[in-house]
Amino acid sequence: MCFIAVACQLPNKSENPAPMSPNAYAQLFHLRIENTDTTLYIFNGTDTISIQKKSSPTFCLGSTTQWGYFHALDVENRIAGMTFPNTIENQEFQSEYVSSGKIKDLQINGAEMDWEWLLTYPADYYLYSPFDESACERLASTPMTCVPFCDYLEPHPLGRLEWIKVIGWLNGKYPSACAYFEKEKNQYESLIKSASNESVLIGSFDDKQFWINSNKSHVHQIIKDSGHLSTLNSNKGNTPLDQEQLWELLPQIQHVILIGTAMQQDQAEKQLRDWKMRFGNHGYYINTSVTSYFEMGPLQPSLLLQNLLELPSPQSGFIQKID
């Protein structure tokens, strides 16, 4: 295992390091008290990365999925810039922070990163998804600390939610983050149901391939916790199925859930109705433009779990039934 200190000195080692309250589900971060200081450790692949807390920090977000954690803790004022801020379906946020220019769009015309701005006005932290570390190389000359935000790699939806503690700790709102997590955890755990014989497939379809998560993902776990059989059987990450593979699988599936934007919904509904005629599946759609699924889904796993429990007739939430 490789140990890396990101934009900070190596933390002093304590003879008897004592953890803060142990994580309930999260496996990829740890907060540890050493002497009088607390250090955040993030486990990114074979690397262990240490992060020190800064006073009244500012953040740049490399993904809109990170925004939900700041929104839940009411610390959006700490965001200096983020990618695709205009896609956040929250009018108060758009009015208060985006339209007013308080939060910088980190991309130029929705494409290339505005490196000149990032290098000229560095925030205290840059949160990024570990699958693309190229930004950290460009920001190495700045005092900005790059933080790999690995929430989506957690195998359990509550492990993913528990990353709210990371945002809480960095912003001085750790108790609030713990309270949010405990409330949602209790709600989620109260809904868990034993297995049934009906199978569920969740993913996105681009006319040629159906993209699904692996059986080690939080999506696989939440399907299991809803009492359904999960058909995610690959040990790898985001896996594509071609049409032949998909059509071989669909006759075994009772519930097919497609994920996409409002612009993609008409085509998705057409595809789901075709599959229903061919294979007899129930079809559903998660409209990410309307539900803010990618931004708020990680913060509300119990709502998605409740929707899955309600199949074939989900009520208000993320999932819409397509007749």
> Do 203 and 164 lie in a common domain?
no
Residue where one domain finishes, among candidates 186, 207, 233 = 186
CATH of the domain at 306: 3.40.50.1980
> Do 99 and 160 lie in a common domain?
yes
> Do 173 and 206 lie in a common domain?
no
pLDDT at 125 over 90: yes
Q: Is residue 198 part of a domain?
A: yes
**Mean pLDDT (the chain, rounded):** 89
Q: Is residue 74 part of a domain?
A: yes
Output the pTM of the full model. Answer: 0.89
> Do 99 and 171 lie in a common domain?
yes
DSSP string, 136-170: HHHTTTSSPEEEE--GGG-SSHHHHHTTHHHHHHH
pLDDT in tens, 301-315: 999 999 999 999 999
Q: Is residue 164 part of a domain?
A: yes
Q: Is residue 260 part of a domain?
A: yes
Domain coverage including residue 305: 194-322
Residue 247: partners with Cβ closer than 8 Å, 6 or more residues away: 278, 279
Instruction: Tally the domains of the chain.
Output: 2
> Do 181 and 67 lie in a common domain?
yes
Buried/exposed code over 167-180 (b: 16+ C-beta within 10 A; e: otherwise): bbbbbebbebbbeb
Residue where one domain finishes, among candidates 137, 163, 186 = 186
The sign of the dihedral angle between the CA atoms of 99, 110, 150, 217 is positive
Residue where one domain finishes, among candidates 186, 209, 237 = 186
Q: Which long-range contacts (CB under 8 A, 24 or more apart) does 316-320 make?
A: 317/291, 318/286, 318/291, 318/293, 319/257, 319/284, 319/285, 319/286, 320/284, 320/285, 320/286, 320/287
pLDDT in tens, 13-71: 333 444 566 899 999 999 987 767 889 999 988 899 999 999 999 999 999 999 999 99
